[in-house]
Amino acid sequence: MLDRAARLAINRPRTVLAGALLATILAILFGWSAASHLKSGGFVAPDSESTIASDLLAADFHTGEPNLVLLITDPVSADSTAARAVGAHVVEELRKEPDVSAIESYWDLPPGSPRDVAATLLSTDGKNAIITARVAGDDTDAPVRAERVAEKITGTFDDVTVRAGGFTISFNEMNQQITKDLAIAEAIAIPLTLLLLIWVFGSVVAAVLPVLVGLFAIVSTLAILRALTLVTDVSIFSLNMTSALGLALAIDYSLFIVSRYREELDRGLTPEAAVIRAVQTAGRTVLFSALTVALSLAAMAVFPQYFLKSFAYAGLAVVCAAAIASILVLPAALILLGNKVNAWDIRVWLRRLFKREAPLPQAPEDTLWYRFAVVVMRRAPLVLVAVVIFLLFLGAPFLNANFGSPDDRVNASNAASRQVGDILRSEFDQDVSATAVAILPGYDGDAAGLADYAERLVQVPGVTQVASAAGVYFPDGRIFPAPPGLIGPQGTFLSIGTSIDPFSARGATQIDTLRAVESPAPALFTGAAAINEDALDALGAKLPLAFALLGIATLILLFLFTGSVVLPVKALILNMLSLSAAFGAMVWIFQEGHFSETLDFTATGFLIPTMPILMFCLAFGMSMDYEVFLLSRIREEWLRSGKTTADNTRAVALGLGRTGRIITAAAALMAIVFSAMVTSKISFVQLCGLGMTLTVLADATLIRGILVPALMQLLGRFNWWAPKPLVALHKRIGLEESEESPAHPVGFVDARHRLTT
């Protein structure tokens, strides 16, 4: 396959490039509107109890948890004439909207309403009051509708300010911010990447090629995401992640292909022969890397939340696009460039400017990475223990991780929904967005049974009131008349107020206790705490399957790549260690709040549970990326050797000597791409960007530079062991490098040192 790709690029380079250009134009035209078709939700399981309950509320009772909150602020009092007039106007405008229901206003409370009920809609200082409503629609339609409604009624009127918040406004702001963040991240990453590539290659022409392939991957990503929206729900957050992934991988793969091509040119091959050899060697490595990354991302498809599923689908397509561009399109460009790939070498200009001589050729044994590997392997046991302890220490904070669903606090502090949310949390006795709902579908029992159920619910610690068709119940025994709309032919539901943060440990305990209360008919719960608990349960139920699929697929692929059963197990263990630093940082920084002012985010005391899974799959794939690159060259040296213990040591040192600099450069390039995501105004996008940056840097230095040589030195020849039946199997189906290898001129000496793969 690789030979055919190389020969297609050699025989028809202009056709290949013309096809790539046409594909790019079509991708831009088709994918330009991708962001407007993506959704901002996807954190809940579609078949969970809370989702079913929410759907029943909407379908049977034409209501639901309030997702639009209008905060009305009067500098003197919310009971002023001006505030009442503004409140009445807002309610009137909301009632005109066909997609808005379940409107509840502080100023519309019936006379004699309990003070406790009024307190849920009035701030403790009496200056802020709220109007809540339910906007119909899914994760795409509801935020857009809410924004349209909010534009009509927000602003300042007679010194009374109206601000909009709630989940719909928060998600709409996320949607808009994601698109802005993507443009900013790319504006930062692409120029910095080009500068680093120029430093790595010297040649401006060689440096531009990976960037062009990266741009191809970005526009391909937009088209892929747009195509996926035609058949499934796709998360808006995949726009940033998969674009960054596509850019990082395309540059990474191109770096290895171009480097190997230049090396082969320096060894005296013609451009055609150099392309064939580069695709046979570096291209094979790219192919295996793409497979491992793709399989890592594919593991997310087992989860029910489309937030993760969309990353699986989009990630698979983006990885394929990056690999195809690197293995087919890039070689076609190299054929047309020929030796001009080394043109505009700024190092030559700089040497002329400073009147310095060209550096002498450097053998792999003379490189810093070779000498470093030798030092590490001489002290392998000590180095291994020290680095493992260090990585486990960095990862220790993750043992205290807490998880919760995203709310308005993922947005920047200047976002309207965030400002409203902060006031609701700090100045109201009860956050209306934390209300739990218990639905009794088809309930046709007597009022006494419903009253007993409400009385039991209100005694649960932290519950402030329970509104039911039998009355409104308070913990102190007071009972007030029932509000309308809580019962109908389809059954009844109860609204349960709470003073507890639904995403805290106490919130989880409270919803478990509420669910355990004996009910007169089967009850379904929804609300923030129930949704959060159901999401965690759904993720936890699929985690073993996802990890098993990822581990098995990785073991099989690396066995096909190396012919060893030891190296795949080693790779899995080291990959887990490489993730420890990033996972510890997630908790230490984003849960506990260190550097929150520097990074401009708000620590909520918990992590969004889908993010560690997303990061695990992404980072695992990236770690395997470098593992494949390094093992590829070590294996080349091992196969040429006499296969003794000493040969194993030399093969490891030579492999690191030949790849150490380029892996470091590739990691730096990838770190630039992912670190640009830290500029995002969405906190969990920042989390993923910083976590991926730390993982890539730790993997390229501590893991590949220290732990791999140390462990492979201790294992010796056992690195390459496999049972005899598997050895025979590998000979039959192992994905081996092509035997065809263009011969090098006899006696040729390298003209200058080049990066190698």
Q: 368: burial class by Cβ within 10 Å (0-12, 13-18, 19+)?
A: exposed
Q: Residues 160, 30: one domain? A: no
| Residue 347 covered by a domain | no
Q: Of 532, 562, 583, at which residue does a domain stop?
A: 532
Q: How far apart are CA 534 and CA 524, in angstroms?
A: 12
493, 61 contact by CB (below 8 A): yes
pLDDT value of residue 542 = 93
Q: Both tokens of residue 176? A: 């808009």
Q: Is the pLDDT of residue 163 over 90?
A: yes
Q: Is the pLDDT of residue 354 over 80?
A: no
User: Which residue, 569, 533, 515, 568, is CA-closest to 404?
Assistant: 533
pLDDT value of residue 13 = 86
Q: Residues 560, 647: one domain? A: yes
Rounded to a whole number of angstroms, the CA Rg of the chain reads: 30
User: Which residue, 255, 385, 268, 377, is CA-closest to 657?
Assistant: 377
Q: How far apart are CA 227 and CA 216, in angstroms?
A: 16
| Residue 754 covered by a domain | no
Among 102-106, 487-491, 734-738, whose mean pLDDT is lowest?
Answer: 734-738
Q: How far apart are CA 498 and CA 599, in angstroms?
A: 32
Q: How far apart are CA 100 and CA 29, in angstroms?
A: 35
Confidence of residue 735 (pLDDT cuts 50, 70, 90): low
Q: Both tokens of residue 221? A: 């990503």
Written as one string, the DSSP assignment of 70-134 is EEEE-SS-TTSHHHHHHHHHHHHHHHT-TTEEEEEEGGGSPTT--HHHHHTTB-TTSSEEEEEEE
Mean pLDDT of 417-433: 85
Q: Residues 643, 676: one domain? A: yes
CB atoms within 10 A of CB 579: 26
Mean pLDDT of 603-626: 86
Q: Is the pLDDT of residue 707 over 90?
A: yes
pLDDT value of residue 112 = 57
pLDDT by residue (tens digit) across 454-481?
999 999 999 988 989 998 899 988 888 8
Q: Residues 587, 503: one domain? A: no
Q: How far apart are CA 593 and CA 326, in angstroms?
A: 40
Give the count of domains, the chain: 3
Confidence of residue 361 (pLDDT cuts 50, 70, 90): low
Confidence of residue 89 (pLDDT cuts 50, 70, 90): very high
Measure Cα distances from 740 to 51, 74, 106, 276 in Å.
58, 81, 80, 9
Q: Residues 544, 524: one domain? A: no
Q: Of 144, 165, 186, at which residue does a domain stop?
A: 165
Mean pLDDT of 309-338: 88
Confidence of residue 732 (pLDDT cuts 50, 70, 90): confident
Q: Is the pLDDT of residue 337 over 90?
A: no
| Residue 610 covered by a domain | yes
To the nearest whole percent, how much of the chain has pLDDT over 70?
Answer: 95
pLDDT value of residue 733 = 73
Residue 664, domain CATH: 1.20.1640.10
CA 33 to chain centroid: 21
pLDDT value of residue 734 = 60
Q: Residues 539, 526: one domain? A: no
pLDDT value of residue 3 = 75
Residue located via tokens 């990266």: 214
pLDDT by residue (tens digit) across 225-256?
898 888 888 888 888 777 888 888 888 888 88
Mean pLDDT of 170-199: 85
Q: Both tokens of residue 110? A: 């019936």
494, 468 contact by CB (below 8 A): yes
pLDDT value of residue 362 = 66
User: Phi-psi region for residue 57, left (φ > 0), alpha (ψ -120 to 50) or beta?
Assistant: alpha
pLDDT value of residue 728 = 86
Q: Of 498, 532, 566, at which residue does a domain stop?
A: 532
Q: Residues 440, 394: one domain? A: no
Phi, psi of 477 (to 5 degrees): 100, -5
Q: Beta 436-441 vs 524-527: how paired, if at all? A: antiparallel
| Average pLDDT, rounded, for the chain | 86
Q: How far apart are CA 294 and CA 302, in angstroms?
A: 14
Partner residues linked to 467 by β-bridges:
472, 495
Q: Residues 185, 139: one domain? A: no
Q: How far apart are CA 551 and CA 56, in angstroms?
A: 40
pLDDT value of residue 750 = 37
Mean pLDDT of 409-419: 88
CA 577 to chain centroid: 19
CA dihedral 311, 314, 319, 324 (to 10 degrees): 180
Q: Residues 142, 22: one domain? A: no
Residue 479, domain CATH: 3.30.70
pLDDT value of residue 738 = 44
pLDDT by residue (tens digit) across 477-517?
888 888 888 888 889 999 998 888 888 888 899 999 999 99
| Residue 425 covered by a domain | no
| Residue 296 covered by a domain | yes
Q: Residues 625, 685: one domain? A: yes
pLDDT value of residue 375 = 94
Q: How far apart are CA 411 and CA 421, in angstroms?
A: 11
| Residue 355 covered by a domain | no
| Residue 131 covered by a domain | yes
Q: Is the pLDDT of residue 397 over 90?
A: yes
Residue type, 386: A
pLDDT value of residue 182 = 81
Q: Is the pLDDT of residue 160 over 70?
A: yes
Q: How far apart are CA 733 and CA 737, in angstroms?
A: 12
Q: Residues 544, 684: one domain? A: yes
Q: How far apart are CA 90 and CA 511, in angstroms?
A: 33
Among 70-74, 204-208, 371-375, whose mean pLDDT is lowest?
Answer: 204-208
Q: Residues 226, 296: one domain? A: yes
DSSP 203: B
pLDDT value of residue 117 = 64
pLDDT by residue (tens digit) across 53-88?
988 888 888 777 788 999 999 999 998 999 999 999
pLDDT value of residue 754 = 38
Residue 131, domain CATH: 3.30.70.1440
- Residue 513: which domain range? 430-532
Mean pLDDT of 372-401: 93
User: How much is the pTM?
Assistant: 0.81
pLDDT by residue (tens digit) across 709-722?
999 999 999 999 99
Q: Is the pLDDT of residue 523 over 60?
A: yes
Cα first-last separation, the chain: 20
pLDDT value of residue 436 = 92
CA 615 to chain centroid: 6
| Residue 746 covered by a domain | no
